[in-house]
Amino acid sequence: MEYAKSRTAFGQPIGTFQVNRHALSRCHQAAGRPDLPDQCILGVTSGELSAEDAAGAKWWTTELEWEIVDRCMQMFGGYGYINEYEIAGIWRDARIQRLYGGRPRS
């Protein structure tokens, strides 16, 4: 949000462009299940979290993370690839999260 408010293009903050306002709104709405990690923690502590539910939570959270971070990265444009901007590292870290864990070995 800070970047969208401070970065200007065509004489105005990029956060004022309709496409970016829609993207930021979508990111905010996508994060609409903040209770999922809490439910999983309760399931682990009570011994009731199934492997399927754990895998589903891992999938949902990492896909959501990727969707949001990738969209935010788009707003940075070419700057998003420059290591001086924090988004470059966040984007790399978010991408690998989708690979971690995998499925159990048989």
Predicted TM-score (pTM) of the model is 0.64
Residue 90 belongs to domain spanning: 2-97
Residue 103 in any domain: the answer is no
Residue 18 in any domain: the answer is yes
Give the CATH number, domain containing residue 76: 1.20.140.10
Convert the pLDDT of each residue in 59-88 to its tens digit: 888 888 888 899 889 889 899 999 999 999
Residue 104 in any domain: the answer is no
Res 101: pLDDT: 59
Helix/strand/coil for 99: coil
Residue 34 in any domain: the answer is yes
In the block, tokens 């959270």 appear at 61
- Separation between Cα atoms, residue 14 and residue 34, nearest integer Å: 28
Choose between 92 and 20: higher pLDDT: 92
Number of domains in the chain: 1
pLDDT at 9 over 80: yes
pLDDT band for position 95 (50/70/90)?
confident
Residue 102 in any domain: the answer is no
Average pLDDT score over the chain: 83
